[in-house]
């Protein structure tokens, strides 16, 4: 099991979190268990959405009742009320590079003013092709700055991480970003976490504990 420890989000009761590219909704359950009152799990794949609904019906977590699974195109998604938090975990790297600017714009539009964006991105490396497509801090910066985001902190001190069944090695970066005053909706606080997981992450259940500015991985 992968455990990602992030800075505390505080009391999330009454808040809504959006999980794009939710897959089987493992992350959605973890976020619901953390304390969010409403979790919207979205996936373009009908089979993935069906699998998520099946998982939620079979899992024993009382928090599963707070999760809504939606089969929809993220770029055409209408969300009202907007999300207090967006959890983007290995979603951007799965998208064709031609839609990256649209990703930044759509993510911005789905958040409430003052909302938070949590993003887990891999692989930060020089690999060719995808998905997953290679990521980098300058790349993400180039997507967010036109939307009014400003980097407050960027960390690249984590150990390299093997992925793709050993096909490549990816680096980890951690960044904290805020939306500059007067940009977009104004006052939007954004937290972005870059963290490549093991390849198995894409097909195994993961647990996320949002408690502090550290990364920790522990085997299940």
pTM: 0.77
Question: Mean pLDDT across the stretch 147-176?
Answer: 74
Res 200 pLDDT > 50:
no
Between 49 and 198, the more confident residue is 49
**How far are the Cα atoms of 59, 70, 179, 208 from residue 51, in angstroms, in the given order?**
12, 12, 36, 21
The per-residue DSSP string of 168-179 comes to: EEEB--EEEEEE
Q: What are phi and psi of 214, to 5 degrees?
A: -140, 155
Per residue in 65-93, pLDDT (tens digit) is: 999 999 999 999 999 999 988 888 889 88
Res 117 pLDDT > 50:
yes
Q: State both tokens at 198.
A: 């093991």
pLDDT over 70, % of the chain: 72
How many secondary structure helices (H) and strands (E) does the chain include? 4, 12
Question: Residue 177 forms beta bridges with which residues?
Answer: 151, 190
Per residue in 15-43, pLDDT (tens digit) is: 999 999 999 999 999 999 989 999 999 99
Q: Identify the pLDDT of residue 6.
A: 46
Using only C-alpha atoms, the chain has a radius of gyration, in whole angstroms, of 16
The lowest-confidence range among 127-131, 171-175, 213-217 is 213-217
150: helix, strand or coil: strand
What would the CATH number be for the domain defined by 3-209?
3.40.50.150
Average pLDDT for the chain: 77
Helix, strand, coil shares of the chain as percentages rounded to 5? Answer: 30, 30, 40
């Amino acid at each position: 099991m992968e455990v990602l420890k992030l800075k505390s989000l505080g009391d999330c009761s009454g808040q809504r979190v959006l999980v794009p590219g939710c897959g089987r909704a493992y992350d959605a359950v973890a976020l619901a268990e953390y304390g969010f009152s409403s979790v919207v799990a979205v996936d373009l794949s009908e089979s993935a959405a069906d699998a998520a609904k099946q998982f939620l019906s079979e899992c024993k977590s009382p928090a599963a009742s707070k999760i809504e699974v939606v089969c929809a195109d993220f770029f055409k998604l209408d969300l009202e009320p907007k999300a207090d938090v967006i959890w983007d975990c290995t979603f951007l790297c799965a998208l064709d590079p031609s839609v990256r600017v649209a990703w930044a714009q759509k993510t911005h539009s789905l958040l409430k003013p003052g909302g938070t964006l949590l993003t887990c991105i891999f692989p930060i490396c020089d690999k060719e092709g995808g998905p997953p497509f290679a990521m980098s801090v300058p790349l993400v910066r180039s997507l967010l700055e036109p939307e009014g985001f400003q980097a407050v902190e960027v960390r690249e001190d984590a150990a390299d991480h093997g992925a793709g069944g050993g096909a490549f090695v990816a680096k980890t970066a951690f960044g904290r970003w805020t939306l500059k005053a007067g940009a977009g909706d104004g006052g939007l606080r954004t937290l972005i976490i870059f963290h490549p997981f093991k390849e198995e992450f894409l097909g195994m259940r993961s647990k996320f504990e949002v408690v502090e500015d550290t990364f920790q991985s522990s085997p299940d």
